[in-house]
Structure 1
């Protein structure tokens, strides 16, 4: 075969190859384009597409952050925030209330079972290794409840809150804390010599402080104030010590990869903080007691 014939055959094969490549690419381009578009969707896009904001929340009511009213409706600071966020996004809201510890709320979110977590969540450094947190929307104070009789017997000179706190960091001193909460880490950090006793039930922990099985407990001021409201005689047996310099900042959690959703939530919080609606919501539930009779 001479050289001109070889060149002719080569040109034919080259043209055929180009045509087949074009056909294959054309046939596959719609699927490829759809896959690329799907991969480019943000969590905000997914939420709007499904028409629902899925919120994970602790299974028990924790007034006034989330609880059921007399009509059976879910109310409180966190449900109202979630409902307002969903409204601003133009979608419905649904609540997943299966987690039985606050750490389990984080686990559910991390595994993709929800879009966000609004559940009286402390934005601790340990939790921030698993999820991202928004700016805080409320700040609580850590609080101690101390058995008055044991305090008088063991540390009669401890009168002020600071003096009491110093005495708590001693070996063998039992301090109760709710398992699966940020307060386990708070207790270890501030009272490393004390003996932490983990509880799943706040009522039982209170009872053990009253009976003297515990010297004290550590929890947020909200739970302690709720208990004191329902049991006004508690002050006769237990001393409430507010830790003003120990803040418990509460924030919304999102998955680590949902950067756009996190940015949107921070902008949302900034706007409701600036227009005063966040402050009004917090005051409605934290500074007033009308919600208790609704």
Structure 2
């Protein structure tokens, strides 16, 4: 009997300790601020305009989320290749940076339900038109690929187009310019970014191969075990998908291109 009671007391203590550990959403409500880590270089999800303001589709989702929580939103600019370690060392409460929910990342993080699904596409040198029709045509040592370091674009290039030479950059713009300037043959990246970049940065020298060749759900990332926050965020996403908020924000950034005038 004593052993049984001791086991019950230990279980109660453990459960009490678990309950005492507040999650990201509860912490934000208590502090009055939701801190979100992002690398603001991913059009049209998060990017910096001419006035130095961080804007975009995901930014607007997070602003609306913070409003629903009754708190302020603080965006913490963080390099993408260091964004997971920064979350795990409490630099911010959650990741909202166009992050693809991969099985590898899911071993280190909990993820919300996806708020959008994208796929990898290609920007290629225009003089390769007809020669390169799919990513498979680039899987040759004579071609040079580029993408952004730490992204699924880099992962997919190395996995599916592994025979080609690869060189990554810290930001998308540098990588795209490598193709524009003829130093690389193709830029591997998410479709929403490429559909904008082909005109904004392409200088008439790029061709957009629009057929996605991967399935990539983008989601918000939180620390492992923070199920209360995941529950709240998932319920929030369900709400905005049915009350018109999501459709309104999606149209603002993906159908209306007037925001491009505000970019550098």
Q: What is the TM-score of this pair, normalised by structure 2? A: 0.82
Q: Counterparts of 1:92-241 in structure 2 under 5 Å?
A: 92-97=72-77, 99-100=78-79, 102-149=80-127, 151=128, 158=131, 161=133, 164-231=134-201, 233-234=203-204, 237-241=205-209
Cα separation, 2, equivalents of 1:95 and 1:238 = 33
User: In structure 2, do the counterparts of structure 1 residues 95 and 191 end up closer, same or farther at CA, with 3 Å as the change threshold?
Assistant: same
SS at match of 2:119: strand
Cα separation, 1, equivalents of 2:59 and 2:202 = 28
User: In structure 2, do the counterparts of structure 1 residues 84 and 196 end up closer, same or farther at CA, with 3 Å as the change threshold?
Assistant: same
- Is the CA contact (8 Å cut-off) linking 1:141 and 1:242 kept in structure 2? no
Cα separation, 2, equivalents of 1:241 and 1:115 = 37
User: In structure 2, do the counterparts of structure 1 residues 86 and 203 end up closer, same or farther at CA, with 3 Å as the change threshold?
Assistant: closer
Q: How many residues align?
A: 247
1:258 aligns with 2:238: no
Q: CA deviation at 1:290?
A: 2.3
Aligned to 2:260: 292
Q: 1:281 aligns with which of 242, 246, 249?
A: 249
Aligned to 1:57: 38
Q: CA deviation at 1:233?
A: 4.3
SS at match of 2:184: coil
Larger displacement relative to structure 2 (268-277 or 39-48): 39-48
User: In structure 2, do the counterparts of structure 1 residues 166 and 268 end up closer, same or farther at CA, with 3 Å as the change threshold?
Assistant: same
Aligned to 2:64: 84
Aligned to 1:47: 28
- Is the CA contact (8 Å cut-off) linking 1:133 and 1:251 kept in structure 2? yes
Cα separation, 1, equivalents of 2:253 and 2:208 = 21
Cα separation, 2, equivalents of 1:75 and 1:191 = 33
User: In structure 2, do the counterparts of structure 1 residues 171 and 94 end up closer, same or farther at CA, with 3 Å as the change threshold?
Assistant: same
User: In structure 2, do the counterparts of structure 1 residues 68 and 282 end up closer, same or farther at CA, with 3 Å as the change threshold?
Assistant: same
Of Structure 1 and Structure 2, the greater helix share is in 1
Cα separation, 2, equivalents of 1:232 and 1:183 = 18
RMSD, aligned α-carbons: 2.6
